[in-house]
Structure 1
């Protein structure tokens, strides 16, 4: 936005301070003048007329001194106001400098303003917190771009290698080549669809409608039952009607990803996945907890980053493309929800998703 040049805030404060001081001085001098005139009237009652000066002479004698005082007040007000305004606006100058540095892409700088709490320090702390979030977000996006490029390049490189081998060996079994190409292509398609879903969740480009999380949990459990039986994992679902407003497709994807993740990262045999939904007047909660080996609490927070598959955890086939929990996090945030991860009480992982909801969600228009 192009703006016309104007006075600085420091100059405005200086003029305001000087003007207020001049006004206060004028009122004070006026009060003194009235006091002197009143004092003259009383003096006439006890003093001879020849010794008492007239009112005009008194004002004439008082006016030059008053003008000198007003001039001194003006000079003092301008100088004092300029200094005081500079000291008061010094924190704002630091904030402006930090803002300019941030606008050039330097997000590592922090104001870190010292002193007791006031409006400027509250603004500086808020700005520092915003820079920290932006810095973390930019770093996460850079890692995501690098990992996504690597993940997308892998199936393409494998496809190119298979095609080169087939070209150099005309007698190679085409059926085996076709099958391997089909598997690699399916993985590339799965990864691309996951990236598109992640982008859709981040953009919040969906229509909100009443959704029951308990029904989604049962649907996801039914869909993934063959995978659970194959891996020897039992699925337990419980909970009452849990109402939220959001995209049914995205929330089903969230539930499916959590359940899929709990199945493939479980015990080799005799594993369990517990899915529970609960509702409160303001929140609806989905909890998915699985058995498994103990999870390092220091590594739990990394599981929601894209392409972080938790290499220390037990993995099976259908381990996915490394975007499962990242998609869950994005969908939860797109629905103004909160995702929390913690080691399970008896090993494994406990994932909790809290979404705004309540009993009235289905009745909203």
Structure 2
């Protein structure tokens, strides 16, 4: 016995054709059955021969069947035979007409299904032709606002998001390659300078190696940041209760003492529990505080606050610093973006806020960044609050 999946037609056009034909056959058969019942139940006038009557009294005598008197049994029998013959002829001719119309309906169903599915075939051909090289193309389906138009618009929206994601990926790879190539070039230059020195000294070798070691540390930081960014964008595999207040206190306690004239920290810590990855949340808090301290002004300040607001666990970090144009704020949340591209920032590569953004998205939270009127930023990360279930005594 053949499996059912192999006996079902595979093309949508064939399935629609059979569906149209089946519906027509069912409705035609129902109409024929209803008509047959009506014909059988209705009174039919039947012309019968004149028996025992004069010719002048037999001029188109009509009898109603079944309203014929019981005394006219031969006449009644003949009328019933004529009526049954008429019904059989009606059913036979109707069946032939239904069979003919079934064939016609299948042919029309095939044509109609093909016309209905023509836009879908066009969209399929276009989507099959689109690849990474021409993902900028769109279906641009022109037609009435129906299901096919909605499908085409949805596919166009998906292609637009893929196009933007591919462009962002290309920029990310290019920026990462540039950031990795720069220290490698510097390392090579230092080594070549040392090798070409005809009278090298121990101090020269030591200075070169210390410089190369410093560059290696910076490369390690970059690779670690890239790994954290990739881990955050992949999402969370498990979640545990995380207290933003506890992590923030630990991060602030581990920071070195601020030098004289440097920014001052002003913490306002309140309980704020969410569910997530403690290591990623700690990296988020560290990046926010480091970013606020680094991009600051002499004698500036950094305000760090945690708490629960509107059913969300929130951490807010604001700092004094250089004036940030409002149109540049969104760019700072992207990888390898800095307010001043000419500055090397002591080996930092502009990944801090992009890692923060990725971690917030991985936890299902929201990140907002607003420039302060006098300079600096106010960055607020909000996570879904985790409610600790109360014990039942």
Structure 2 distance, partners of 1:319, 1:190, is 8
84-93 or 214-223: bigger deviation = 84-93
**Map 1:1-365 → 2, pairs under 5 A:** 6-40=9-43, 43-45=64-66, 49=76, 54-102=82-130, 106-114=134-142, 118-172=146-200, 173-204=204-235, 207-224=238-255, 226=257, 228-229=258-259, 232-266=262-296, 268-280=297-309, 282-311=311-340, 317-318=345-346, 320-360=348-388
Structure 2 distance, partners of 1:179, 1:101, is 54
Q: 1:301 to 1:7 in 2, by over 3 A?
A: same
Q: In the TM superposition, what is the alpha-carbon distance from 1:328 to its structure 2 partner?
A: 1.3
Q: TM-score, normalised by structure 2?
A: 0.80
Structure 2 distance, partners of 1:248, 1:45, is 92
Q: In the TM superposition, what is the alpha-carbon distance from 1:146 to its structure 2 partner?
A: 1.3
Q: 1:218 to 1:112 in 2, by over 3 A?
A: farther
Q: 1:87 to 1:231 in 2, by over 3 A?
A: farther
331-340 or 157-166: bigger deviation = 331-340
Structure 2 distance, partners of 1:86, 1:34, is 38
Q: In the TM superposition, what is the alpha-carbon distance from 1:168 to its structure 2 partner?
A: 0.8
Greater RCO (Cα-Cα under 8 Å, separation 6 or more): 1
Structure 2 distance, partners of 1:154, 1:130, is 36
The answer to whether the 8 A contact 2:236-2:363 is kept is no
Q: 1:113 to 1:198 in 2, by over 3 A?
A: same
Structure 1 distance, partners of 2:213, 2:261, is 24
254-263 or 37-46: bigger deviation = 37-46
Structure 2 distance, partners of 1:73, 1:292, is 83
Structure 2 distance, partners of 1:293, 1:361, is 45
Q: 1:259 to 1:109 in 2, by over 3 A?
A: same
Tell me the SS of whatever aligns to 1:250: helix
The answer to whether the 8 A contact 1:107-1:135 is kept is yes
Q: 1:106 to 1:316 in 2, by over 3 A?
A: closer
Tell me the SS of whatever aligns to 1:54: helix
Q: In the TM superposition, what is the alpha-carbon distance from 1:114 to its structure 2 partner?
A: 4.7
Structure 1 distance, partners of 2:116, 2:148, is 9
283-292 or 59-68: bigger deviation = 59-68
Tell me the SS of whatever aligns to 1:253: helix
Tell me the SS of whatever aligns to 1:358: coil
Tell me the SS of whatever aligns to 2:65: helix
Larger Rg: 2
Tell me the SS of whatever aligns to 2:325: coil
Q: TM-score, normalised by structure 1?
A: 0.85
Name structure 2 gaps, 5 residues minimum: 46-63, 69-74
Q: In the TM superposition, what is the alpha-carbon distance from 1:256 to its structure 2 partner?
A: 0.9
The answer to whether the 8 A contact 1:258-1:288 is kept is yes
CA RMSD of aligned residues (A): 3.1
The answer to whether the 8 A contact 1:283-1:355 is kept is yes
Q: 1:199 to 1:93 in 2, by over 3 A?
A: same
